[in-house]
Amino acid sequence: DQQVKQNSPSLSVQEGRISILNCDYTNSMFDYFLWYKKYPAEGPTFLISISSIKDKNEDGRFTVFLNKSAKHLSLHIVPSQPGDSAVYFCAAAGNTGGFKTIFGAGTRLFVKA
Amino acid sequence: NAGVTQTPKFRVLKTGQSMTLLCAQDMNHEYMYWYRQDPGMGLRLIHYSVGEGTTAKGEVPDGYNVSRLKKQNFLLGLESAAPSQTSVYFCASSLGDFTTDTQYFGPGTRLTVL
């Protein structure tokens, strides 16, 4: 039972355009949502997060939107750059029933120059 | 400042062999974590620690043991390796828990069990 789903395995975007990565979750008890970026042969690096009490968080070119009623979050990258090409993982975290961070399977983003 | 380092980077084991993966962090972080990543899946939490001398089970703890004897080190042990434990293992650390502090990940250890 996948509690966090990233339904698009890959996404291709032209440089300068917007990249939108999506993530759905099933458990309404999650308190916190995070996005990580991963390059090959490296560990994931934290990108941006959002608390369940907010619906938007922005950090430079990266914005995360949270729609709790739809149990959906998205990461917007504007403008996209070739260096953004990586695998992006969304994760949902909570303390109910024990410390828990559930990751999605990832979406590979290709930004074409 | 090396951040989070993992030893070894690669390892091949035979079924039934044992090994220990070492994670070290030099950021004086309280929290440390071990994850595994399998193809087509997200990272799954194996065990974690909220401070020196403490450990707790994550989502997939079976077949693994951990120890946190020193604050800077978090060891993951496989007592009797099985092919199902073939995976990439990531260690991470954070100053506090996920609600306040970022997790910093190591580069990973690729383990193959034959």
- Of the candidate ranges A21-35, A82-96, B92-106, the one whose mean pLDDT is the lowest: B92-106
pLDDT value, residue A98:
64
A52, amino acid identity:
S
pLDDT band at residue A95 using 50, 70 and 90 as cut-offs: confident
Q: Which residue of chain A is at minimal alpha-carbon distance from B48?
A: A99
- CA dist B31 and A43 (Å) reads 17
Q: At CB < 8 Å, which residues of chain A contact B? A: 4, 31-32, 34, 36, 41-46, 51, 89, 91, 93, 95, 98-106
- CA dist B5 and B13 (Å) reads 21
Over 90: is that where the pLDDT of B60 sits? yes
Could you give the 3-state DSSP secondary structure of residue A83?
helix
Task: Please choose, from the candidates B32, B99, B96, the residue with its C-alpha nearest in 3D space to the C-alpha of residue B66.
Answer: B32
- CA dist B2 and B84 (Å) reads 31
